Structure 1
Amino acid sequence: MTTFEYSNLSGRPPGPVVSKLALVLPGVRSVMEQVEPYARWWEDANRRALGSGRPLWVALGDSMTQGIGASAPDRGWVGQLAGDPPSALRDVAVLNLSFNGARVLDVLDRQLPALEQVRALGHEVALVTLLIGNNDLMSPRWSRRLPAATEQLLDAVPRGTVVATQPGLQRSAVAFNRVVDARARRGEIRVADFRVPHMRDWRGRLAEDRFHPNDRGYAGMAEVVRRAL
């Protein structure tokens, strides 16, 4: 059987803003230093998941699905939910295809093809989750394309995928959520709703870079996804 080879690194350098901030802000630098070791940790975990013979929970997304900002890779929302699973996840193994800096088009171009390769190799996929869009919203170039890219993405994800909404109020975030809500009303996907009031207060829940969640923040995210399941 053909083996599955996949990297949880983007292959892109950090953006210029993040690179400059990392030079002057120790908190940003500390969190960015997690990117490679956390990716390698998930690559090892993915190999174990594929060798387990169990149905798979395939997690698609960006740095937050990798747990960047948490005290360890398995203290992100994916790891915390897998460590204390609801009934729907008790017999599954996690295959995490996320990577730091991922945007919507990265899910389309790289993560979903990897999911299809896993299926072609005969693995059963019991659940797919998707948390994406933060990096698109941070860039004027990508945020303008986000609503159309989201439509394309939701055409491609498996039916029943659990899709996270965006908590922000900027126009592109609202447009993203509008697309997600419409697909949910048609029964195509399920929603993990990160909008207020579901995730209201982030005090004490952010990592040193003041952007990614810490363990407490990820615990809250895990609870939102638990409710969706």
Structure 2
Amino acid sequence: MGEPAVPSCAHEVVEISVDLPDAAARARAQRIGRKAMAEVSLLLDSGDRREIVVPARVGRLLQDGAVELPREEDDAFDAVHALEGRVCFAMLTEMLARRDHAESEIRRKLSSYGFRDIEIEGSISRARELRFLNDDRFASYFIEERVRRGWGRRRIEAELSRRGVDAREVPGYPDAFFTEEGDLERARALLARRRVPEQRAYEKLVRFLVSRGFPFGVAADAVRERLSQ
């Protein structure tokens, strides 16, 4: 005779209830630079409950029945985590639809919504494979667009660094984006729109251009030219 069957001890999730964050919870989370989370309670057929927190958008989908029940406890948690992964990737693509982002920006924003690292890294990896996300492309466009606005090299480098991108690693940087004559032309254009101070004009105008990211030598040449006129 064979061994007697061992009864399964697995429990099933029979109900999911969700408490979405109210205005006070959203305000508290905003003060620390995060988004408020939804509180989720999974009721087992044994009467026990399992409590978890998920990003609010995931909570709204669970509230609408995104996970079919009843199902075994482990399977239910796997389904919730799979849902979180899909929502995480959807939010990533929405961010990129509004404007291009560096990877570090995407990572920081998704983390602020409460997504787990595994979901964030999985979404970023998938976006890279689909060429939705590319730091070199982002940086090249960012530099070109800021150059058109009249930004100097140092200011652009500082802003890229703040977004998690090292300008020195951008293909062709800096020669593909800057020339000394181009820097001087942008400095001239900025000075042409600015009133010459009555006192300490040279010092103030040089400081103005340096604060916009221009090298001191370029700033000094542009100001001397402007004052000579």
Q: Do Structure 1 and Structure 2 share a fold, with TM-score over 0.5?
A: no
TM-score range, shorter chain: under 0.3
TM-score, normalization by structure 2: 0.23
The answer to which structure has the higher helix fraction is 2
